[in-house]
Structure 1
């Protein structure tokens, strides 16, 4: 049995395999509302390297994916300005689940149920290795950020602000 057999075969993992992405799986004890602070502590990695997958929507309820450093927040005003829309706001958890096909806390940008535009904080590319959700709560995958660009072709944005 190889190492990859220990990990769940989620839609995200299927997509990573389809695109021959080089990744490593990391399981940890999921904690409700623990967020990236919890996962980074559990795995002993910097929170800045843990990338959140956020499902948001514009004023027309059109969904989009935002990838952001774990220790930063998205300036929705700045993002709306960059996208040329009136407003951007986070989706309610049940709406996010419907769009992505994943449960909040286990949302991966890979293998989403609905095709959505992806926006990625530009500074994520400065990292050597990122940890991003593998499609299940308590399961992150590490990879080079360039793989995210290759597979998802996100639009790079600068909308991160320091978390308060």
Structure 2
């Protein structure tokens, strides 16, 4: 992977996610695409298709409320977040999906563009264990139509996150 400074998409360095990666000197790649407002695909599946990456390597960031506190679950775009599993991973009794307005307020990002990196508040983060199988995964860069490729271990490091099996299929 190349450093952002060598990327042809340097104009996107203004997102807080990219700024955080640059500050931490973490290698990453930038992948901008035209977000289709009329697409029937989810934001994550649209991203996978647009940047030509298999959906298992593209991860969506979902905000949850676990025992009254906001947290993030990062799972493949072709899977669902298992609320019982993320609650367990966070040491909580139960978790539910956060209200989108609360997620936007806490992160500073809009739904469909919520990045696990560089948010207004540092929320506890759990990355699905399937990510570890890949050299690089792709997460939102902080706006719709913009993803960042990076090593899963680097995502965990920059977010002070943890890894657990939190995704479920079908």
What residue number does 1:100 align with? 107
Assess if the C-alpha contact under 8 Å between 2:113 and 2:140 holds in 1.
Answer: yes
TM-score (norm 2): 0.87
Listed one character per residue, the Cα deviations across residues 108-143 of structure 1 (whole Å, up to 9, x for unaligned) are 111110121111111211111111111111000111
> Mapping of 1:34-53 within 5 angstroms?
34-53=42-61
What residue number does 2:11 align with? 6
Structure 2 alignment gaps of length 5 or more: none
Choose 80-89 or 40-49, whichever is displaced more. 80-89
TM-score (norm 1): 0.90
> Mapping of 1:36-115 within 5 angstroms?
36-60=44-68, 62-115=69-122
Structure 1 alignment gaps of length 5 or more: none
Choose 148-157 or 63-72, whichever is displaced more. 148-157
Distance across 1 between alignment mates of 2:62 and 2:135: 22
Listed one character per residue, the Cα deviations across residues 38-87 of structure 1 (whole Å, up to 9, x for unaligned) are 11111111011101111111242x10011111111111022223434232
Q: Please, what is the CA RMSD of the aligned residues?
A: 1.8
What residue number does 1:161 align with? 168
Distance across 2 between alignment mates of 1:155 and 1:48: 19
Assess if the C-alpha contact under 8 Å between 2:73 and 2:86 holds in 1.
Answer: no
